[in-house]
Amino acid sequence: MKSYLITGGTILTFDPESPVLEGHALWIEDGKIRKIAPDEEFAELKLERISAEGKVVLPGFINAHHHFYSTLVRGLGKAKASQNFNEVLENLWWRLDKKLVLEDVYISALISGLDATRHGCTTVIDHHASPFAITGSLSEIARATKACGIRSCLCYEVSDRDGKDKCREGISENMALLDSLKLKPDSFLSALFGLHAAFTLEDETLRDVSDYVHKTGCGIHVHAAEAESDQKYNIKHHGLRVMERFADFDLINSHSIFAHGVHLNAKELLLIASAGAAVVTNPQSNLNNAVGIADLIKMRELGILIGLGTDAMTTNMLEELRVALWTQHLKQNNPSCGFMEVLSTLTINNPRIASRYFEGIGILKPGYQADIILMDYQAPTPLNADTWMGHLLYGLSQATVDTTICAGEELMWNKQIMLDLDEEELLGSSRRLATDLWDRF
């Protein structure tokens, strides 16, 4: 069993009962946190010691909504200019995802996973689409995230937009991973049942998915009212709002994730809250696509569990956290509101969401997973239980991740990736695949 101590740093636990610990050390053993105690309690313990002097020790960050497959689009300038969200989908994303092959899927996840590691993100809840490379796509992503040493919760986005055959293949891809994990659980891999969005899903498809969800008890991961057009389509064609349709098929449960939620009304939010499901906000993506700003204040008032994702705009969760707060100031026309609502998404709620799919994650606490990061940061003002969230938002967000650890294994040490991967070769492959993909675009 690998066993060592992390000593000398200021510990931010993300545990509301004891958020900041000074003069404490963490005893890591067999991939978990065995003990956190004052340094003197470990004085006689003959273990390797990792010094965190001049650093802050935190849990590895969790990204609650991501798209690994979008990595190879970076810098692409061939997409037709879009005037609204539906045109963004039609001119860019739905053209791109049709051109992906399995090698693209693997490399995209690998490059994005390494980038997540550099930014201290050790768990990613992903949402994948590759309509002409569906079967085996989740296995390729899992292979990539395992090579990176991070945890991932995966799904394939089922949609009727590419016809019934592709829809059925997507259903089968989700079922294959969910069934395999039920037979052989994996502490680094979990799954949800992926759906694109209500406006690309027919009732027959929702009925088929509902049958499987009820049989297995799994959750769904779906875009929900990201743009107003989603609501308009469902009202026009089905006579129901987005969440009313999902409720009709009993697809709202305590394991489900509804991404974005920008245009959900109070009735829809109460459907989510009563089922204990989560809404995951992605503010940078919403701003980029000009779809609006989710009302996190109202969501919190109605009892919603609100998580934070990046929608592949970045792998830097602290960058996303800052934007989330500024957007709430703008949404509410109040520069003093939303601090706790926003900070809780990353520090309290993402761990709660991820713990539905992985055991003991997102908090530095005995018995929990040893997913830990060290950041270069020496506080210029008092860092304590009253101020740590302010330091996270205004100070640590501008600091550098020095070390990333997942399940007790060092993935990055002294800012150097420690994995058995040839990054130069991988980046060369990524550029070659991106060029080929762009030619097919």
> pLDDT (tens digit, 9 = 90+) per residue, 180-218?
999 999 999 999 999 999 999 999 999 999 999 999 999
Per-residue pLDDT tens for 349-406? Answer: 999 999 999 999 999 999 999 999 999 999 999 999 999 999 999 999 999 999 999 9
How, if at all, do strands 220-224 and 257-260 pair? parallel
The number of folded domains in the chain is: 2
Buried b / exposed e across 375-405, counting CB within 10 Å, b at 16+? Answer: bebeeeeebeeeebbebbbebbbebebbbbb
Whether 280 shows a pLDDT value over 80: the answer reads: yes
Identify whether residues 180 and 43 lie together within a single domain. Answer: no
Name the nearest CA neighbour of 26 among 14, 39, 17, 15: 39
Could you tell me if 257 and 290 lie in one domain? yes
Which among 304, 327, 354 is the end of a domain?
354
pLDDT in tens, 87-105: 999 999 999 999 999 999 9
106 and 216 assigned to the same domain:
yes
Does any domain span residue 428? no
CA dist 229 to 83, 224, 237, Å? 13, 11, 12
Say what the pLDDT of residue 79 is.
84
Check residue 424 and give its pLDDT. 94
Residue closest to 397 by CA, chosen among 285, 284, 321? 321
CATH label of the domain that carries residue 245: 3.20.20.140
433 is a domain residue: no
pLDDT surpassing 90 at residue 59? yes
* 69 and 87 housed in the same domain: yes
Mean pLDDT value across residues 16-25: 97
Average pLDDT over residues 24-41: 97
Number of Cβ within 10 Å of residue 70's Cβ equals 19
CB-CB contact of 7 with 372 (8 Å): no
H or E element that contains 125: strand 121-126
Residue ranges making up the domain that contains 195: 61-354
pLDDT value at 409 more than 80:
yes
- CATH number for the domain harbouring residue 30: 2.30.40.10
Q: Are residues 53 and 85 in the same domain?
A: no
When pLDDT is averaged across residues 324-331 and rounded to a whole number, the result is 98
The pLDDT tens digits for 73-84 are 999 987 889 999
Inside any domain, residue 335: yes
| Parallel, antiparallel or unpaired: strands 220-224 and 55-59 | unpaired
Across the range 298-320, mean pLDDT stands at: 98
Is residue 432 in some structural domain? no
Q: How far apart are CA 320 and CA 313, in angstroms?
A: 9
The per-residue b/e assignment along 16-52, b for 16 or more CB within 10 angstroms, e otherwise, is eeebbbeebbbbbbebbbbbbeeeeebeeeeeeebeb
